[in-house]
Amino acid sequence: MKKYKTFFAALGIFLALFSFIFVCLRLEIAKVYAETPIDIQKEIPFRTNASFAPVDASIKKPEVDADDIVYIAKTIWGEGRGLSKYDKSLIAWCILNRVDDERFPGSVEGVVTQPYQFHGYSKAHPIDEECLEIAKDVLTRYALEKETGYDYGRTLPKKYVSFYGDGKRNYFRTTDKTDKYDFSLSDPYKED
| Those residues with Cβ within 8 angstroms of residue 56's Cβ, 6 or more apart along the chain or in another chain | none
Coil vs helix vs strand at 73: helix
Instruction: Kindly write down the DSSP assignment for every residue of 93-152, as one continuous string.
Output: HHHHHHHHSTTS-SSHHHHHHSTTT-TT--TTS---HHHHHHHHHHHHHHHHHHHHSS-S
Give the C-alpha separation, 91 to 139, whole Å.
12
Give pLDDT tens digits for 22-51.
555 454 544 444 444 444 444 444 444 434
Coil vs helix vs strand at 191: coil
Give the C-alpha separation, 96 to 161, whole Å.
9
What values do phi and psi take at 174, rounded to 5?
-75, 170
pLDDT of residue 36: 45
Going from N- to C-terminal start, the domains of the chain cover 1-36, 42-173
Any idea which of 28-32, 102-106, 151-155 has the lowest mean pLDDT? 28-32
**Distance of CA 188 to CAs 22, 31, 51, 84, Å?**
40, 34, 10, 12
Give the mean model confidence (pLDDT) for residues 144-150. 86
> Which residues are paired to 165 by β-bridges?
170
Give pLDDT tens digits for 53-65.
444 556 677 888 8
Could you give the dihedral angle defined by the CA atoms of residues 39, 40, 44 and 49, in that order, rounded to the nearest 10 degrees? 170
pLDDT of residue 164: 87
Give the mean model confidence (pLDDT) for residues 78-85. 90
**Ramachandran area for residue 167 (φ above 0: left; ψ -120 to 50: alpha; else beta):** left
Hey, which CATH number is domain 42-173, 3.90.1150.10, 2.60.120.260, 1.10.10.2520, 1.20.1730.10?
1.10.10.2520
